[in-house]
Amino acid sequence: MKKSVVAYRKLPAAALRILEAQYDVTCADADTQRDAFLAALANAHGTIGNKLKLNAEFLDAAPKLEVVSTVSAGYDDFDVADLTRRGIVLCNTPDEVTETTADLMFALILATARRIAELDASIRRGEWQSSSGPAQFGVDVHHKTLGIIGLGRIGAAVARRAAHGFGMNVLYANRSRNVAAEEAFGAKWCPLPTLLAEADFVCVLVPLSAATEKLIGAAELRLMKSSAILVNCARGQVVDEAALTDALREGRILGAGLDVFEREPLPADSPLCALPNVVLVPHIGSATAQTREAMARRAAQNLADALEGRLTATCVNPSAVDARSLLHTPGN
């Protein structure tokens, strides 16, 4: 008998074909088809999707669940310790988002530095009446200092663009040294306070965890130059949004480019929306057709591999396999 899989978000046809070739697949959106989703969980051996906090309620409804495959690089929607305790493997898609998210990070750096959104809006209001002057001036990006908080895959891709494309000096703060980036891009490790004080552009790319929640707060923002720009493509909760709003409003930093927010979608009455020195985009780090399809295909293959006992580097918690064995040992 085939194992059962639940797709709780719409998948591209190519990803569905990978799963339908081997498993009984039920497509039931967790938001709009909740009853069908919960019913399908009862017999599910695997799930695939994104943007759903797969909490204890859902896991309790899925006694046969072996694998959870998320169509995302981040996995803060999941209680990894609880999944591991239950013997459920979690897989993600870290590699597919790297270059696309790095592109967006640099787009936000450039758009904020050169005030693209602000000046675009000015033109649309009919305010362009003469040659550009100080009122339209931005700041240079090339040959400035870029500080990267979290030099993983995406951070390294941003560092490559900065060093090789814009002649920038690269500083980074990380839990461990990234020797490859140091050798390839001349990146220099430094403590976070030093990075904040010296960087012209501060890029936030750490995953969300208890250790990184509100990592950048009022005290950290006070360390930054008044001419510095903050760019966040990590998670909104890594930056204290109220403190950032105050710093932007008061001119204590020059600007910000934000792809992520504490509350998503960002409410229209958020004070950030009223500030001219911030560029806002709706969590689009991986949002290209090519990347989203590649992520879905990878997530489908991850699910199939894990259900067949093949754990790859995309497995977040390989120790879940040992926990599952213990759970099914006679006497347990």
Catalytic residues: 235, 264, 283
Alpha-carbon torsion (123, 124, 127, 128), positive or negative? positive
Nearest-5° angle of CA 185, CA 191, CA 197?
90
Beta carbons within 10 angstroms of residue 22's beta carbon: 14
The arrangement of strands across the sheet holding 4-7 comes to 24-27, 4-7, 46-49, 67-70, 89-91
Query: Whole-angstrom Cα distance, residue 208 to residue 167?
Result: 30
**Is the CB of residue 1 less than 8 Å from the CB of residue 21?**
no
**Is the CB of residue 317 less than 8 Å from the CB of residue 89?**
yes
Provide the β-strand partners of residue 216.
239
Altogether, the residues listed in the chain come to a count of 332
